[in-house]
A = this chain, B = another copy of it.
Amino acid sequence: MGAFHNPARLSIALVSGGMDSCLAAAIACRNGPCAFLHVTYGQRTARREHKAFLDLAAFFEVPENLRLVVNLESLSMIGGSALTDPSISVPKFHEVPADEGGEKPATYVPFRNAHIIATAVSWAEVIGAGSISIGAVAEDSAGYPDCRPDFYTAFNRLIAVGSYAGESLRVETPVIAMTKSEIVKMGLELNAPFHLTWSCYEREDAAGGQCDSCLRRLRAFRQAGIKDPIPYVS
């Protein structure tokens, strides 16, 4: 697994409720004590993702005082995304260009990850955490500039110069170079509880299987030769 952070120090895992951050959290929890941070921002499936967060925090036995759920109202007020603006529809996967390079996906939430990591940095300064773990995946990053490795390099520089934590706090991206099917396989090796996660952008009762996020998830499980444990509408 490698030492993703100093095991003597507390780590903050960003836990969206999806499978990438579930694996990142599983890795962080193996390395030492973890706090879990979840962010809602008025996205369509916020309640279901929050439930996934609570289920994951319970699974990993995170103490109540090391769980934080924050609502970023600014992102829903600002809109500009199919996830936060009900007047913009979530594209079905057959409407998503195969190569999104350069084109902005309707589901891009402007600069979202900067808000999420800033929240983690503020919390890290107060609770004394030494690392922040995020489940960003470069494979998805063509259309999401705030998922690129360069973004995290730049953010670490920002923390180094702009916080009291300085260089003693780092953002880590343990799954950034993995394909989604590698994430499935490694998750199984580590007993990551994918059955508790949620990925669908559209529905909260059962996954719709129609949006880009469902597509990527289903394809990853198929490529790994494993059945996705969550329910889908038939």
A: residues with CB less than 8 A from B are: 68, 70-75, 77-80, 104, 108-115, 118-119, 121-123, 125-126, 145-146, 148, 150-151, 154-155, 157-164, 166
Contact = CB atoms under 8 A, between A and B. Distances in A.
B122 A80 contact: yes
B163 A111 contact: yes
A112 B154 CA distance: 18
A70 B73 CA distance: 7
- How many copies of the shown chain assemble into the complex? 2
Nearest to A148: B161
A122 B111 CA distance: 5
Contacts of A150: 161-162
Contacts of A112: 122
Contacts of A71: 73
Name which of A73, A109, A122, A150 has the most chain B CB atoms within 10 A of its CB.
A122
A166 B79 CA distance: 19
Return the 10 tightest CB-CB contacts between A and B, nearest first. Answer: A80-B126, A110-B125, A151-B162, A110-B122, A114-B118, A150-B161, A70-B74, A154-B158, A111-B122, A111-B121
Given A74-B72, A77-B68, A114 B164 contact: no
Name which of A75, A114, A115 has the most chain B CB atoms within 10 A of its CB.
A114
Nearest to A163: B111
A166 B109 CA distance: 15
A110 B109 CA distance: 24
A81 to B, nearest CB: 9
Contacts of A148: 161-162
A230 to B, nearest CB: 29
Contact of A163 (B121, B146, B157): B146
Contacts of A154: 154, 157-158, 160-162
29 contacts: A68-B77, A70-B73, A74-B119, A74-B122, A74-B123, A75-B122, A78-B119, A78-B126, A79-B126, A80-B126, A110-B121, A110-B126, A111-B118, A111-B121, A111-B163, A112-B122, A114-B114, A114-B162, A114-B163, A145-B162, A145-B163, A146-B162, A148-B162, A150-B161, A151-B162, A154-B157, A154-B161, A157-B157, A158-B158
Contacts of A157: 154, 157
